[in-house]
Structure 1
Amino acid sequence: MTAPTLAQLLPAARSGDAVAMEQLLRLTRPDIRRYALRHCAATTATDDVVQEALIIVYRRVGALREVAAFGGWVVRIVQRLCMRPMLAWLKAEPLAQVEDNLAWSHRPDHELRHDLALAIDSLPPLYREALLLRDFEELTIEEMAQRLGVTREAAKSRLHRARALVREYLVPSAPAAR
């Protein structure tokens, strides 16, 4: 007897079949863990991310419209869970003193942290990930390139573009890198 496939389990789990849901979660768990180990920050407790992702899948699988979208949906859940600690740190940690002559120096620190979090959240995922890996996880360019699966030059380019987009978000008159 062969094990049920995702295509067989997902419709049954979506309709409330508890056995199918359990099998779906067991089938999905290794992929979630592998992705979390590869993409979450070192400070993130991988087991917690896996557990939270499985809970979200359990609670929201009924809202998923397409079986083919399941893999991407799960990956996005894990990505968001992996970023959560970094964004929380960004919102909670005091920023370095900003020089008085900068355009945003009139903002109180809490507003600047909030605006910076919004700026980072507004980045396209490939730029956001590059920025978080370098500036928050403090990976080297080589480590960042390896984690992203790109060349050193591509990693530097993404980081440069991410920083330019954040600068443009914070100071709308600042030119974005081309």
Structure 2
Amino acid sequence: MNTLKTGLSIDSALAEISQPVLRYLERYVGDRTLAEDLQQETLLRIARGFDTFDGRSSLKTWSFSIANRVAADYFRQPERRRQIVELDEANDAIDPDREIGERVIEDEMNQCVRQVIDSLPDSYRSALILYDLEELSIEHTAEVCQCSIANAKIRIHRARLRLKEALQDQCAFYRDGEGVYRCDRKA
């Protein structure tokens, strides 16, 4: 059994990072099934390269770096060029007591945000997801993205600007009578 200097075995390492990697890939690609496939490839690469992991970064950061490359490799193939995918996987969080209208509005907002995130260049999308959604530090985000800290900050800033501009162009935001934030698509 291979173990790290910290005594972590391959099995325990894979168990520790399996869910965070899946969550990251799902946010990156916008499709649960594809994310699961990419997760498997990522875990295989982690297992194959486990002996080379020297602990200079955290296991999570190292794993996200591999997941990032796996996803980028997948989308580099011409027959697999990205097509916008709707977020249907919100079923995990469906509350049966909520009105259907509320769920439809939330799904529309999620779809709009997903489409804008999907339209970002890969370097911006990965930096934004890692930093804002996965809550990695700027240092770890830079490490995963294989860029300097300054460059990671620039990518995140530009991604946020593009996200904000696209949402303002495509959506009319308002608060309803109950003070809930809503969005209507602009014509």
The normalised TM-score by structure 1 is 0.43
Q: Select the structure with the greater relative contact order (CA < 8 A; seq sep ≥ 6).
A: 2
The normalised TM-score by structure 2 is 0.41
Structure having the higher Rg: 1
In terms of fraction of residues, the more strand-rich structure is 2
